[in-house]
Every structure is written in C-alpha cells, then in structure tokens.
Amino acid sequence: MRNLQRLKEAILISQVPHASWSLELEKSSKKYHTVAAWAAIIFDPIFAITDYYNIPESWQYLFAIRLCVAAITFSTLILSRRYYLPSYIIVVVPFVLISLQNAYTYSLIGDEDLLGHNLNYIALLIGAGMFVAWAWPYSVFMTVLSLVATFYFVNTNPALEFNQFFVKGGLILISSFIFMTILIRTRHHLTIKEIKARLALQTSNEEIQNQNEEIKAQNAEIQAQGEEIKGINENLENLVQERTAELEKKNKALEEYAFINAHKLRAPVASILGLTNLLRKLPASPESKDVLEHLQISADKLDDIVSTITKTIERGERK
C-alpha cells in the first residue's frame, strides 16, 4: 500500500510542468540570494578590520576595494528591483568580486598571514553554502575561477611558498570549495524537490476540490430530481385518490342501480307477468288473445333485459 502511494506521489511530482517549478524556484532563490547580497554589502567592508591587523600597510587600499565591491553589489540589487534579472545574478556578482578580492589579497601578504586570510576566505564559502541556491555548473565555474585566481596571485607573490599555502589552511580552503559545491547542489536539489512536491500537492488538492464540486453539483441535481419525482408521486397519489373517489361514487351509483333494477324495476315486471298469466286464463276474444300474447312476449323480453342487467352488474362488482 505504501509503495503504491509513493508511486502515485512520484507520478504526480514528475508531471509538474518545468515552467511552474522553475518559476517557484526563482522566487524562492531570490529571497536567499538577496539576503546573501546584503550580507556581502554589510560584512565585506567590516572584514577590513582583519586586514588592519594582518596587512596594516595595505588595509586602506583593500578597504577601498571592499567598498567598491559593496557598492557594485548594492547597485545590482537596485537594478534587480527595477529590471528583471535572474536571481543568481544577484549573488554571482558579490561572489565573483569577493573571490577575486580575496585572491588578489594573496599578492599583498606574507607566509605569516596565510592562515588568517585563508580562514577569511573559508568564511565566504561557508556563507555561500548557507544562502546560495543555483545549479551545480555555476558552483563548478566559481570554484575553478576562484582557485585559478588564487593560485595565480599566490604564485606571483615572492613572499609566499606553495607548501606554506597548503599547510596554513590551503587544503582546508580547497576542501571548503568542494564542500560548498556539494552543499549548494544538495540545497538546490532539495529545493526543487520540495517545490515540485508542493505544486503536485496543490494540483492534487485542486483536482479533489473540483471533484467535490462536481459531486456537489451531481448531488444537487439528484436532489432536484428527487424533489421532482416526489412532486410527481404526490400528484399521482392525488390522481389516484380522485379516481378512487370517482370509482367509489360510480360503484355506489351502480349498487343503487342494481338495487333499483333487482327490486323496484323487477317487481313491476313480475306483476305484469303475473297479470298476463291471469288474463290468459279468462275468456277473451281472438283479438284480445293476440294482444295478450304480444304483451306476454314484451313482458318476457323486459324480464330478460332486467335479469341481464342484474347479472352484468354483479359480475362487475366481483371483478
């Protein structure tokens, strides 16, 4: 069950459009990169304090460079608000400038200052690992650029030796570049994964909401149909009651008619038949006998009709 659920989640996440998650990634990255840019603007000039103690003869010159880096970074932030700039530009500018600044500083120090400067450089990489979120090729490019510049200025400084550079923090510096690259790549990957999962969940919730709305609409339609059927049933019930009342009236009328036919109508017919039988026993002329015969026939027919009507009504009542 869990494997099936995970498979469904993976399918939903894989179906998130690139345009959607890349836009959300840009919004999320811009927040971190803006913080990193402001950190560079504020803290890079402050680190001139270390220059004052490590290289007192050049700290003013480096302080001017740091102020220029802060000013360029600030200008980049202003431009990003007025014009559209990819979020990585906001942090690429200070990262490149501070890396070149730190690399250039190697041309101004001696062996005794290597450890302190390498630690300053490592602080930059730790800050980048905490706030930067970009694709790994950018990290590789920045690492290669920074290391090439560093090795160049170390090599051009006759007061420095490569073995001392590695012993006094150089190896830790190189390891920090590798760690920064891995950390930024991991952060970038996890951020994309979180954004995709969030968008997939949002899409799933929207689909569920749409299904719920559709179900509500169907329920409302079913309820309306139920009310309509209820109205039809009530109407049919009223019709049945009306028809039943009408049939009861007709049955009552038929009962009354049957009673009239069986008793009130039958009695005069029986009387006529009885009288014809008596008249036939009395002496009469041939003309009278002929009239009496026709009267007998008519009375018999009338009696048959009355009997037929009575039987028909009785059959109808039985049905």
Residue 291 in domain: no
Is residue 233 one of the residues assigned to a domain? no
Residue 269 lies in a domain: no
Residue 115 has pLDDT above 70, yes or no: yes
86 located within any domain: yes
pLDDT confidence band for 104 (50 / 70 / 90): very high
Residue 116, C-beta contacts closer than 8 angstroms, at least 6 positions apart: 50, 53, 54
| Burial class of residue 20 in the structure, from the number of CB atoms within 10 Å of its CB (0-12 exposed, 13-18 middle, 19+ buried) | middle
For 105, the domain range is 7-208
CA angle 48, 53, 59 (to 5 degrees): 45
Q: Which region, left, alpha or beta, applies to residue 254 given φ > 0 means left and ψ of -120 to 50 means alpha? A: alpha
The pLDDT of residue 111 is above 70: yes
Name the pLDDT band for 117 (thresholds 50, 70, 90). confident
Which pTM was predicted? 0.63
In whole angstroms, give the CA distance from residue 187 to residue 142.
Answer: 17
- pLDDT digits over 207-248, tens only? 788 888 888 888 888 888 888 888 888 787 777 777 777 766
Q: Tell me if 246 is assigned to some domain.
A: no
In a domain, 149, yes or no: yes
Establish if 262 belongs to a structural domain: no
pLDDT in tens, 78-88: 998 888 888 88
Q: How many CB atoms lie within 10 A of CB 97?
A: 20
Nearest to 95 by CA among 72, 61, 62, 119: 72
Confidence tier at 146 by pLDDT (50, 70, 90): very high
Across residues 303-310, what is the average pLDDT? 71
For 254-290, the three-class secondary structure string (H helix, E strand, C coil) is: HHHHHHHHHHHHHHHHHHHHHHHHHHHHCCCCHHHHH
Q: How many residues does the chain have?
A: 319
Q: Which two tokens stand for residue 279?
A: 């008249």
Q: What is the mean pLDDT of residues 28-57?
A: 89
On whether the CB atoms of residues 20 and 203 are closer than 8 A, the answer is no
- Cα separation, 105 vs 157, in Å, equals 10
Asked whether residue 46 is domain-assigned, the answer is yes
Determine contact, residues 112/53, Cβ cutoff 8 Å: no
CA atoms within 13 A on the CB side of 82: 6
Q: Which two tokens stand for residue 143?
A: 């690492």
Q: How many structural domains is the chain composed of?
A: 1
Question: Do 68 and 48 meet the contact criterion of CB atoms below 8 Å apart?
Answer: no
Say if residues 21 and 199 touch (Cβ distance below 8 Å).
Answer: yes
Contacts of 98 (CB under 8 A, 6+ apart): 40, 44, 69, 124
Place 202 in a pLDDT band, splitting at 50, 70 and 90. confident
Hey, which bits of 17-158 come out as E strands? Answer: none
Q: Each residue of 252-280: pLDDT tens digit?
A: 766 666 666 556 566 676 667 666 666 66
| Residue 92: strand, helix, or coil | helix
DSSP 159: T
Measure Cα distances from 225 to 22, 32, 220, 232, 238 in Å: 48, 57, 9, 10, 20
Q: Band the pLDDT of 50: cuts 50, 70, 90.
A: confident
Backbone angles phi, psi at 16, to 5 degrees: -70, 125
